[in-house]
Structure 1
Amino acid sequence: MSEMLGNQYFMARKYQEAVKELEPIYLNDPGNKNVSRKLIIGYIQTGKLMKGLELFTSLVKEDISFIVIADPIFDDCPCPEIIKELEPSPNDPITPDLNIYNGIIWLYCDPKISIKFLKRAITDFPTNKELKEAIGVIKQFIKNK
């Protein structure tokens, strides 16, 4: 029941509520990639960027294709609409957190753009293990594609 409700909240873009419903599902079944993929977006949309990065890296290491093949219609992936909202104006500064955020979101649409943002982020967070691991897997994915 909670997963269905969480999915409904996710589809309605009520990320706070979706996270509340989907988190217990993930904790009981960390192998549920559908829930993980939604939680990543839920976390970063609700200000839990590092928690989102941790789960993102875990899923990237386990099955990067599962993120890359997300279909905006079938999987109700909001990333294309989020990306449109993220387009900065010339006066908007790009913060280190925004680079991580963009790197995560863009993997759902384009791995090459994702890696560009994550490489920028690693210059601000050179010791961040999750960033290093995600970059390594994404680079390998692009190379093998």
Structure 2
Amino acid sequence: LVTGVSGAFAASDPSDELVDLVYALKSGYRQNAHWVMNRSTQGAVRKLKDADGNYIWQPSAVAGGTPTLMNFPVAESEDMPDIGANAFAIAFGDFRRGYLVVDRVGVRVLRDPYSAKPYVLFYTTKRVGGGVQDFDAIKLLKFGTS
């Protein structure tokens, strides 16, 4: 989904872009959907208001709880880009169904008795990876014109 404005929310009704992102996701994925954005993007989104002047961001009712945006939980990820020209700064979706983490069984240990005399070093490695499994389960908001 594209905002139509390079590097910012639209000047009029900026929260409509977030509503459009929610409904761009198929209904089967919305049930367990989360917002993902970094801290500076969260700061910009927290300032958005609805037509009645109410903030659309709702802080958690309990200490240490998860805040919500349009009744969906918000997760912070510093790996997401800041709002900028052609940046995909906000993600929304069911990440459990959309992203697969592969964790290979076992840990490999390499014994190195030569590098640090008179000590023996041990190097351990574990193979993990991941990737998008279902592209319908995750949608991104692009801050750009096309």
Structure with greater helix percent: 1
Structure with greater strand percent: 2
With normalisation by structure 1, the TM-score equals 0.28
Higher relative contact order (CA 8 A, sep 6+): 2
